[in-house]
Amino acid sequence: MSLLFVLVLIVPAFLSWPLGLAMTLLIDPCQNSTYGRWTSGIFSKTGGLAAVEEQDWKSYLFSMLIFNIAMFAFVMTVLALQQWLPLNPDGKGPLEASLIFNTAASFVTNTNLQHYSGEASMSYFSQLFGLMWLQFVSAATGIACLVALARALGGKKTVGNFYSDMMRTTFFILLPLALFVALLLVAGGVPMTMDGAAVAHTLEHATQTIARGPVAAMVAIKQLGTNGGGWFGPNSAHPFENPSFFTNILECSSIILIPMATVWMFGRITGRMRDAAVIFSVMMALLVFKAGAAVWLEGAPATALSGLPVEVVSNLEGKELRFGSGAGALWAAVTTATSNGSVNCMHDSLNPLTGLVPLAGMWMNIVFGGVGVGLINMFIFIIVGVFICGMMVGRTPEYFGRKVETREMTLALLALLVHPALILGGTALFAATTAGAGTVLNSGAHGFTEILYEFSSSAANNGSGFEGLGDNTVPWNIATGIVMLLARYLPIILPLAIAGSLAAKKPVPVTAGTLRTDTLLFGLIILGSVVLIGALLFLPVAVLGPVADHFTAIVH
């Protein structure tokens, strides 16, 4: 198990340093460099002045929103017409309207919540040119917005150009990495074919249809871009998506690699590597604690086996036996620390307290998080921590040499409250009505947790689920689709507005009374803010759901 921790957590942490440097050079190049002039020249020829001119934060956000609307409309069209489009060797039919809306919203927002089973519902064209394309550009959108935030905090009046940042991220970061990982996955046994489903004749003279397709291509970017949308319904628990110990390690470590690297990229762009080291340390400490807790808690036997001779083994319910309970619990912690959401075991089958670990990861939503947006979310907690400390010592709080005042705190509090409001409001509505209560697999606290998990996953743009839930209904599709859209764009818009407001202010000189944000003390302040605020917001539903489920299981 210790080797698994090293390969999944420690190796990506070391690789994130050079990758962060490469990302900085490729996404934020010096305009006088050969690479900068060459890429700007290509972008200006293909997209005109709009693709290269410098933008302030408002223009940057406007371009991002326009492009994302176009992404949404394009994929809605592809999914609605898939039965008439090419690359449909298995003759997939039309999709229901609310499912089309939910799926488009899910992949545009980098959530990849799937209320369908890919091999049963989607054509190759829909998977490749609709959903997989979104896995590239939605991930690139998050990274580009972080780059803009970093430039603003670094003191720049303009924050670059969204289209240039997105194209550099897509073509020079995500595409090469995805190609490399896809080749390794093919070598590890993941299918990569454009042929239709295979028909096999068993020894019992039965006929079996085996779905396949260009799986490796989609799996690579689903992991690297913290997307999570699988080719098959069981995701990486399926032997075609994840056939061996090698592919399991490769896929799980790929989840965390780019989110880790974005922290170092942020430090280089802002010119504050010590601050980046503090942020990285806080995130890493939370991730290691989450992963360790999940593996330890899942080492207990399933309650259903109580009193049986096999009670002494760890909880293997819902696990892929090739990997065991430890690898499943570790993946669950990593995939919900980021906004990835892919799975190699069924989260609904986790021990109740183990199920609290992925929920906590999605409630915090800052433990590296989705590519780019995880650090944007952490920025809100940093602003709150700076403000609280400033008020405690009777001094106007500052961050990166700019004063944090009423406007910035108002926006920060709005950004902070969007996430719990979407989770708790949606959970309350669906738990109290048949729209949610009538779709749960289990009664009582576990059924409540299924509803709570679905809204937590949607609001965190994660995409994993307690899949006992019958969520492919019109109410679920519409509600989670709306939550995913709001939870994606408001937490990007509000922090960029804060950064833009700070960038417009005159820098103040550093004095003996300035709160340093690159120290161990400030790291502990951030950590305390995250834990305390998270506990105040979500402890009641944690008690009503996983904790009550745990004690109910013990009693019975």
pLDDT per residue over 180-199, tens digit each?
999 999 999 999 988 888 88
Asked if the structure places residue 180 within a domain, the reply is: yes
- For residues 263 and 376, state if they share a domain: no
One-character DSSP codes across 52-119:
TS---HHHHHHHHHHHHHHHHHHHHHHHHTGGGSS--TT---PPPHHHHHHHHHHHHTT----SS-HH
Rounded to 5 degrees, φ, ψ at 532 are: -65, -45
Find the domain containing 456 and state its range: 372-555
Give the Cβ contact number of residue 420 at 10 Å. Answer: 18
Q: Answer yes or no: is 142 within a domain.
A: yes
Q: How confident is the model at residue 119 (pLDDT cuts 50, 70, 90)?
A: confident
237 with 380, same domain: the answer is no
Q: What is the pLDDT of residues 197-219, one digit of tens each?
A: 888 888 887 888 888 889 999 99
- 81 occurs within a structural domain: yes
Give domain status of residue 28, yes or no.
yes
Chosen domain end from 248, 271, 294 = 271
In a domain, 276, yes or no: no
CB 271 within 8 A of CB 354: no
Do 262 and 397 fall within a single domain?
no
Query: With the C-alpha atoms ordered 86, 133, 226, 369, is the resulting torsion angle positive or negative?
Result: negative
Helix (H, G, I), strand (E, B) or coil at 367: coil
Percentage of residues in the chain with pLDDT exceeding 70?
96
Distance CA 249, CA 266 (A): 27
Q: How many domains does the chain have?
A: 2
Same domain? For 257 and 382 the reply is: no
Write out the two tokens for 198: 């295979």
Q: Is residue 475 part of a domain?
A: yes
Confidence check: pLDDT of 465 > 70: yes
The residues near 317 (Cβ < 8 Å, ≥ 6 apart) are 302, 304, 349
Whether the Cβ atoms of residue 207 and residue 200 lie closer than 8 Å to each other: yes
In this structure, the answer to whether residues 538 and 420 fall within a common structural domain is yes
Residue 477, in any domain of the structure: yes
Look-up of token digits 């799980």: 252
Q: What is the pLDDT of residues 45-70, one digit of tens each?
A: 888 877 889 899 999 999 999 999 99
Identify the weakest region by mean pLDDT among 4-13, 352-361, 446-455: 4-13
- Could you identify the residue written with the tokens 């890429």? 39
68/212 same-domain check: yes
- In angstroms, the CA 386 to CA 388 distance is 6
> Cα-atom radius of gyration of the chain, to the nearest Å?
23
Identify whether residues 266 and 377 lie together within a single domain: no
How far apart CA 232 and CA 238 sit, in angstroms, is 7
Nearest one of 257, 263, 417 to 340, comparing CA atoms: 257
**CB-based contact 9:287 (threshold 8 Å):** yes
Q: What is the pLDDT of residues 394-443, one digit of tens each?
A: 677 888 888 888 899 999 999 999 999 999 999 999 999 998 888 998 88
Which residue in 348, 332, 251, 335 sits closest to 294, CA to CA? Answer: 332
Give the end of a domain, one of 271, 291, 325.
271
Q: How many residues does the chain have?
A: 556
**Residue 398: strand, helix, or coil:** strand
398 phi and psi, to 5 degrees?
-135, 150
Task: Identify the domain boundary among 271, 292, 307.
Answer: 271
Does 398 reside within a domain?
yes
